[in-house]
Structure 1
Amino acid sequence: MNNLVNELQLKIEKLENEISFKNGLISILSHDSKELFGNFLWLIEALEQKTISEEDFFKLLPQVKSDARKNLQSVQDSTAWLKTQYGEFKIKPVKIMVMDLFYHLEEKYAAKLKEKSIKFYFKGESDSFLTTDRLLLEYVLDKIFNNAIKYSLPGQDIYLQEVTSGDQVILNVIDFGTGMNEKYLSTIFSYDNPVFQGTAGEKGAGLSLKIVKNFISLLHGNIQIISAENKGTTVSLFFT
């Protein structure tokens, strides 16, 4: 009887988490879309009615472009999540060399790394590997690594570190950037956490990490974030 009750409680908690995640996703997409298109329509109408000069109109376009990029990222993130919810999507565990993940990040983010003069290094055994779904894991690492670049100052270093402990493989993405205050860290996966600007003014919708946590759950792994203001952030992914 106790086992049945515990099993039901776990299922209820899982459903509650899924409902919270989906409601939060809808809330973010709705808010961002209204904000973006509302601001854009206001600008166009102001220009048509000549309540704003062409000079001021063009001055405001960079902000509209920034908002559009943020909104597009939200759509892309939610699309990635939707692929795991419909159709015949199934986790496809494959053997993945950790060095391949390092090279994937190094190549994909070469321009951003160069733009900020950031050096990217690998720490760990060069022949280490893990068995999991490549699509989801690469998405997770992409988002974490993109944040590491976003919140790093020019000339700083970023590491992808692999640690094997028994049957467990731990991947750490380590940066020495702006970090965050402990009071914000505790709300990083909630839907009311603040959205931070990157060191070069980059913006995010705050959605990626929420989907990252959801994907890590699908992979039966865990995620831990350790951060200190002005000292950097370490994001650890645990796989068995």
Structure 2
Amino acid sequence: MDFLSINTRFMDDVVNELQLKIERLENEINFKNGLISILSHDSKELFGTFLFLIEELEQKNISEEDFFTLLPQVKNDAKKNLQTVQDSIAWLKTQYGEFKIKPVKIRVMDLFHYLEERYAAQLKEKNINFYFKGDPNTFVTSDRILLEYILDKIFNNAAKYSLPGQDVYLQVITEDDQVVLSVTDFGTGMNEKYLSGIYTYNIPIFLGTSGEKGVGLSLKIVKNFISLLHGNIQIISAENKGTTVSIFLSKFIE
């Protein structure tokens, strides 16, 4: 191989590496811009609505009865706004300072019990049956905080879009040096045309089967956290049939 060929190959590698870095930076900038947009819009909407109601009450344009009738909606909006802030803080902690992955050995069945306990009230309210599939003695070495957050957000969507009385599964499959964790529901599902944009800010926000609200931020952060764990995510969904979200993790991370 002559010098020119070696130099050309080297330049191609440099260009490819630069393109990947540019793509990562563009994704990060888009994510941050979307995050700022969501936070500013939701905060303005929430406080604007609350201020409007107070002023209308003070000017006696609405009765106290009407005011308190509207408060549950304000409460729901406040909960949505708070969740957005909490998700943002969780992501920011991984972007600044000396954040490092802290691998620990985690029993997958413990993750199932974590979700089962955390969502006990919601599961009972919707009469959702939550089951575990796979070997209960399977372990994965990962960062517990990130992994619990990832499964929490995935399961939250599964419960949100499930109809009362339906089933949700957490399944574990071991493939060579990988552990695959899947959350499957049989709820409203999603039309295929929306799947390609699920990690962007162009996808519409869907209400849960009990009117639960969200801002579509969680899955974007989930994808970011999975990349920190050097894993991958796959979403398979069909409208009115349900959704399966799978995360592919190495058995061991450094």
TM exceeding 0.5: yes
Structure 1 Cα separation of the partners of residues 245 and 31 of structure 2: 21
- Structure 1 runs of 4+ aligned residues shifted over 3 Å read none
Q: Secondary structure at the match of 2:156?
A: helix
1:237 to 219, 222, 247: 247
Q: Aligned to 1:68, which of 68, 74, 78?
A: 78
> Does the 8 Å contact 1:73/1:205 carry over to 2?
no
The alignment status of 1:39 with 2:61, answered yes or no, reads: no
Match of 1:156 in 2: 166
Which residue in the other structure is 1:125 paired with?
Answer: 135
* Local SS of the residue matching 2:157: helix
Question: How far apart, CA to CA, are the structure 1 residues paired with 2:111 and 2:75?
Answer: 31
Q: Which amino acid aligns with 2:91?
A: W
Q: What is the alpha-carbon distance in structure 2 between the residues aligned to residue 178 and residue 213 of structure 1?
A: 22
* Equivalences, count: 240
- SS of the residue 1:174 aligns to: strand
**One-letter amino acid matched to 2:65:** E
1:80 aligns with 2:90: yes
Q: 2: distance between equivalents of 1:150 and 1:94?
A: 30
Q: Structure 1 residue 157: deviation in Å?
A: 0.6
The offset of 1:105, in angstroms, is: 0.7
Amino acid at match of 1:163: I
SS in 2 for 1:193: coil
TM norm structure 2? 0.92
Q: Which runs of 5+ in 2 are unaligned?
A: 1-10
Q: CA separation in 1, counterparts of 2:66 and 2:74?
A: 13
Give, in angstroms, the shift of residue 138 of structure 1.
0.4
Q: CA deviation at 1:53?
A: 2.1
The percent identity for this pair of structures is 79
* Distance in 2 (alpha carbons) for counterparts of 1:54 and 1:163: 56
2:68: which partner in 1?
58
Deviations 1:144-190 (A, max 9, x none): 10111111111111100111111121110000011111122222111
Residue equivalent to 1:29: 39
1:110 deviates by 1.1
Letter in 1 for 2:214: G
1:111 aligns with 2:87: no
Measured on the aligned residues, the alpha-carbon RMSD in Å equals: 1.1
- Equivalents in 2 of 1:183, 1:2: separation in Å? 35
1:73 positional shift? 0.5
Q: Who is 2:6 aligned against?
A: none
Task: Give the 3-state SS of the residue equivalent to 1:189 in structure 2.
Answer: coil
* 1:16-70 alpha-carbon deviations (Å, 9 max, x no partner): 1111111111111111111101111111111111122222212211111110110
Partner-residue secondary structure (3-state), 2:136: coil
| Counterpart check, 1:13 vs 2:2 | no
Unaligned stretches of 5+ in structure 1? none
| Aligned equivalents of 2:31, 2:104: Cα separation in 1 | 27
Listed one character per residue, the Cα deviations across residues 57-96 of structure 1 (whole Å, up to 9, x for unaligned) are 1221111111011001101111111111122211112221
Alignment of 1:91-102 (within 5 A): 91-102=101-112
The structural deviation recorded for 1:192 is 2.2
TM-score normalised by length of structure 1:
0.97
Q: 1:225 matched to which residue of 2? A: 235
What does residue 7 of structure 2 align with?
A: none
Which SS does the other structure have where 2:202 is aligned? coil
